[in-house]
Amino acid sequence: MPTPTTTLAMGPEFLDPEWLISTFGLLGILAIVFAESGLLIGFFLPGDSLLFTTGLLTSDGQYITYPIWLVCLLITIAAIVGDQVGYLFGRRVGPALFRRPNSRLFKQENLLKAHEFFDKYGARSIVLARFVPIVRTFTPIVAGVSKMNYRTFVIYNVIGGALWGTGVTLLGYFLGQIDFVKEHIEIILIAIVVISVVPIAIELLRARMAARRGTTPAEQAALDEAARESQQHRPY
């Protein structure tokens, strides 16, 4: 098994799934899944790679000794509860969120992406967004801002949380029992870190560049339009 320093050079230590799992255990995994599913500050956390690595390390039994069914169940619950919190936050804050100024941890462009995703796929976006980094953090918030029917949201939230939380974790678990994966697990874990860090690094770079140039008139117009649309009740 690699140590955290093996993958440290690939990105920040706190984004290394194996380091997170070995340091904080199952409770840490659940906290990250919850935060990434519905808290504004959770968009940069590893999601897919964390669940996949959790499955791998559960099959190995070194860091996680709980049965896989319990791990999947708890992860799914954390994901569902996180989205619920995001929805309720968006519903309470309302369209004013689209006028919130940018900060180090909040970028209007991420909210706008989620709004466009939500407009394109409707209620299905609650499920589909689970598999799209960054968008999955903001979509339940946008659903709340848009006053999506709560019962509909809960149904799609449960489906999406189960498919993502259980599906990705089980994928890692079963692959972890293949001899080739066991023999090259260090390389695979490093690849997972690369896959998880690169998209986040790109988004952070884009956010930094956007902060330097400020909000363009076109972006501001899109945000204003999104805020106006969100004031209307959506019959999903």
What is the model's pLDDT at position 200? 55
Q: What pLDDT score was predicted for residue 33? A: 93
pLDDT range class, residue 51, cuts 50, 70, 90 = very high
pLDDT at 164: 95
pLDDT at position 78 over 90: yes
**Residue 6 — very low, low, confident or very high, per pLDDT cuts 50/70/90?**
very low
Q: What is the pLDDT of residue 209?
A: 66
pLDDT at 227: 52
Please say whether the beta carbons of 133 and 200 come within 8 A. yes
**pLDDT tens digits, 117-161:** 788 888 888 998 888 878 888 889 888 888 889 999 999 999 999
Mean pLDDT of 189-193: 68
Check residue 10 and give its pLDDT: 44
Q: What is the average pLDDT score of the chain? A: 77
